[in-house]
């Protein structure tokens, strides 16, 4: 799994159920459109831009000042879905698509959101700590608040690269470009565009990248650090759909894995996909790979 350079036989489609990438796109887009609509309302009412910043935007972005953060603790989550510039949004979503699609293709749908959230939360906490160590010539009050998906995307990028560094992109170009080169290019662009006053953002991005790598490191050793998020999702979903099991792990515990049962093609397919999520394609037997190939046709 660690050195895999394959492409999965599964296809992740935009309309597919439980597509975490589409969900992240939708949340980022909805927050952007909502803020843009409110900004237009302020503009049409001749309200100064500073009022929009203070009354609306500050409630979504992560402030550098600890006292301000403690008064708005939810911003350590909301900031990673908040974009003001359309170009900032497009850039973040393009990189998220690039790495998030590959991560879902190789590991399934259930790991993208945990990596995104872990990276964003850890990046926020390191940002808050780092800005407290600014040079004496720079005050914390002058540090811009943190916003955007940058730290989360950095976590997704390193997680995807740690999972399969030799995954090939653009195969028509000399057999393809290894994923690690694309990740190195992304990191270079990300850090090269940071100013000296954005030391906190740089530290947060480094920490987020480390979290992405650690997530895959644990996953390869059998520990799914995002399992509790998946279980929580199924539990909450079960409240609105009482007939469903509370979690995917509970469904797995209620059945004998990898037992051939007549007329159970879908069950068999689910079992193989669960195995891919845990061990990757290399963990499948030749018979399971053949079954998956036929099911995908």
Q: What is the 3-state secondary structure (H, E, C) of the chain?
A: CCCCCCCCCCCCCCCCCCCHHHHHHHHHHHHHHHHHHHHHHHHHCCCCHHHHHHHCHHHCCECCCHHHHHHCCCHHHHHHHCCCCHHHHHHHHHHHHHHHHHHHHHHCCCCHHHHHHHHHHHHHHHHHHHHHHCCCCCCHHHCCCECCCHHHHHHHHHHHHHHCCCCEECCCCCCCEEHHHHHHHHHHHHHHCCCHHHHHHHHHHHHHHHHHHHHHHHHHCCCCCCHHHHHHHHHHHHHHCCCCCCCHHHHHHCCCCCCCCCCCHHHHHHHHHHHHHHHCHHHCCHHHHHHHHHHHC
Q: What is the pLDDT of residue 30?
A: 96
Work out the pLDDT band at 2, boundaries 50, 70, 90: very low
Residue with more model confidence, 210 or 283:
210
To the nearest whole percent, how much of the chain has pLDDT over 70? 77
To the nearest whole percent, how much of the chain has pLDDT over 90? 44
Q: What is the pLDDT of residue 280?
A: 66
Reading phi first (left if > 0) and then psi (alpha if -120 to 50, else beta), residue 17 is in: beta
Residue with more model confidence, 284 or 144:
144
User: 89-121, pLDDT tens digit by residue?
Assistant: 999 999 999 999 999 988 888 899 999 999 999
pLDDT higher than threshold 70 for residue 164: yes
Q: Is residue 64 part of a domain?
A: yes
Most confident listed range (22-36, 255-269, 281-295): 22-36
Most confident listed range (77-86, 175-184, 194-203): 77-86
Interval 115-129 mean pLDDT: 94
pLDDT higher than threshold 80 for residue 77: yes
Q: What is the pLDDT of residue 18?
A: 59
- Count up the domains in the chain and report the number: 1
Q: Is residue 119 part of a domain?
A: yes
212 near 103, Cβ under 8 Å?
no
Q: What is the pLDDT of residue 230?
A: 83
Q: What is the pLDDT of residue 235?
A: 83
CATH of the domain at 139: 1.20.1540.10
Q: Is residue 60 part of a domain?
A: yes
296 near 288, Cβ under 8 Å?
no
pLDDT higher than threshold 60 for residue 281: yes
Q: How far is CA 241 from the centre of its chain?
A: 26
- The two three-digit tokens of residue 294, written as one number: 């036929």
Give the domain extent around 26.
20-220
Interval 169-193 mean pLDDT: 87
Q: Is residue 130 part of a domain?
A: yes
Q: What is the pLDDT of residue 243?
A: 54
Q: Is residue 249 part of a domain?
A: no
Q: Is residue 159 part of a domain?
A: yes
Interval 7-27 mean pLDDT: 65
Instruction: Judge if pTM exceeds 0.95.
Output: no
Q: What are phi and psi of 282, to 5 degrees?
A: -65, -20
Q: What are phi and psi of 146, to 5 degrees?
A: -85, 135
Q: What is the pLDDT of residue 296?
A: 64
Work out the pLDDT band at 171, boundaries 50, 70, 90: confident
What average pLDDT does the chain have?
81
Q: Is residue 94 part of a domain?
A: yes
Work out the pLDDT band at 241, boundaries 50, 70, 90: low
Q: What is the pLDDT of residue 259?
A: 42
Q: What is the pLDDT of residue 258?
A: 41
Q: Is residue 114 part of a domain?
A: yes
pLDDT higher than threshold 50 for residue 1: no
Work out the pLDDT band at 190, boundaries 50, 70, 90: confident
């Amino acid at each position: 799994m660690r050195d895999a350079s394959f492409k999965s036989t599964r296809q992740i489609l935009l309309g597919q159920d439980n597509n975490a990438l589409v969900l992240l796109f939708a949340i980022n887009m909805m927050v952007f459109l909502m803020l843009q609509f409110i900004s237009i309302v302020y503009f049409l009412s001749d309200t100064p831009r500073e009022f929009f910043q203070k009354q609306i935007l500050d409630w979504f972005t992560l402030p550098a000042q600890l006292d301000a953060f403690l008064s708005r603790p939810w911003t350590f989550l909301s900031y990673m879905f908040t974009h003001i510039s359309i170009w900032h949004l497009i850039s973040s979503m393009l990189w998220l698509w690039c790495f998030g699609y590959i991560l879902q293709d190789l590991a399934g749908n259930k790991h993208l959101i945990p990596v995104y959230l872990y990276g964003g939360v850890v990046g926020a906490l390191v940002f808050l700590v780092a800005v407290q160590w600014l040079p004496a010539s720079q005050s914390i009050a002058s540090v811009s608040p943190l916003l955007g998906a940058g730290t989360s995307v950095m976590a997704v990028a390193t997680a995807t690269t740690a999972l399969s560094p030799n995954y090939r992109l653009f195969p028509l170009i000399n057999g393809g470009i290894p994923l690690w080169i694309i990740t190195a290019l992304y990191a270079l662009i990300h850090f090269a565009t940071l100013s000296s006053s954005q030391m906190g953002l740089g530290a947060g991005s480094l920490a987020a990248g480390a979290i992405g790598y650690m997530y895959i490191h644990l996953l390869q050793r059998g520990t799914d650090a995002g399992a509790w998020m998946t279980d929580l999702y199924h539990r909450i979903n079960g409240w609105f759909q009482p007939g469903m099991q509370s979690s995917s792990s509970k469904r797995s515990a209620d059945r004998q894995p990898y037992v051939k049962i007549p007329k159970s093609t879908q069950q068999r397919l689910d079992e193989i996909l669960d195995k891919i999520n845990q061990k990757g394609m290399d963990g499948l037997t030749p018979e399971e790979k053949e079954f998956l190939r036929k099911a995908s046709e």
